Structure 1
Amino acid sequence: MHSKIRSGLLAVILVSILSSATLLQENGAPVVQIIAPQGNMQFTWGQYVPFRIRVIDNEDGNSEYEEILSQEVIMTVHYFSDSLEVQENLNEGQSSHFDILSWMGASNCFTCHNAKAKLIGPSFLQIAERYAHQGDAVEYLSQKVTQGTTGTWGSQIMPAQPHLSSEGLKKAIQWILKNGSRQDFNYFTGLEGAFKTPAKIEGFEDRAICVFTAQYTDHGLENVPGSAKKGIDSIVLSRRQDH
């Protein structure tokens, strides 16, 4: 009798210990590091700027060993004419872009679409220029993405994407229509490559500051919803003055 009681108590204690360990388990935030370009580098208009990003995450792996999905690493390039705007962007402005861009990366949108240049499908710049002033654009484009289409941009087929959440899709389309044609903002995916600075930006003739930011959102703990965390790194580049 006493032996059964002791066994029962031990089982309860063991379950309690395992439950506590599970509760104490926490997902660590990924470490994101911009290797290139170097901070404080100067740029000129129309210049190609090589970039390289390193990501290390305890759960997802290390980008050096090709364990990080490159399309889930998002970079934004944002140009400012005032240093006060730069600080505001570093403190608050980044999250509004990265939440949507991370969703699009995880939804494989960047497999067929680039920001400014045509890939398989039209660029987000082309989509914004065509539909930004159309009153029902969000509903119209949501339906096209969900059901698929052909003939809108030539003979290329847009495969149906019924698995995408309606809320996430509409937010992404709203973001594209608002930001797709901006001259002062661009974004990329991948761990390495190069971006080209604009030939010029109206109103930025005297001074320009570029904030280059990389972010990675990890996959979180298995079977623990809401445990994903973000890693982020930013550098500031200034435009070389013409002499």
Structure 2
Amino acid sequence: MIEIKQVTKKFQDKKVFVTALKHVSFTVEKGQVVGLLGENGAGKTTLLRSIATLLTPTEGSITVEGYDTTKQPDEIKKRIGVLFGGETGLYNRLTARENLEYFAAMYGLSKHETKVRIDDLATMFGMRDYLNRKVGGFSKGMRQKVAIARTLIHNPDIILFDEPTTGLDITSSNIFRQFIHQLKQDGKTIVFSSHIMEEVSTLCDSVAMMHKGELVYHGDLDALYKTEGSNDLNYIFMSKLVRGSEYHAS
């Protein structure tokens, strides 16, 4: 479970403070897949980085599996997998396999566990043909696949994805979505941001919509469709932005 309570995050730009998050509160239950929606600059990445312990809230608190992000970050890092858009975290001079072995060692996996996980992920994402090639020469899509595998190498209970299908072709994107369904069946808790409404409507149990650092909606997708009288998530999202001030976060 992830509990976000009245989180505000401010950054200082020279002498001016910029508020990236404004009193954001919501809960992600264990085993849920939650889609984080919002235009660029809405605060999605700041929120994900705060959950991942990479940023400290200016106000409020975040707990992950009962651990506080500011007081017990090491406990949280053991339990989460993180992938941020544009940041693969890979080493160009190493092969894809060597990269995955390196991160597996950081999480304390044995050599046998590492081999099994790499083989499974390589098969899942179609990486066998280039598993032993250096990452420096990879296409964006190939790098993204390895980065996703790196995120999942230690089989984390909670997974945070920021635009996970960026750079993937249609086939790879579909494979990734199938994998999200499998992770959900395995009881994993997943929060991911996306601009692809079809992706969110297909994969998610609930959504959190953000606008200018504020939460304008959080709740079950089916209930949202029923309330709005529409299954058009793009239309609903734009409508929520217009009516944002009417929403009171639960």
- Bigger Rg, structure 1 or 2: 1
Q: Which has the higher helix share?
A: 2
- TM-score (structure 2 length as normaliser): 0.27
Larger relative contact order (Cα-Cα within 8 Å, sequence gap ≥ 6): 1
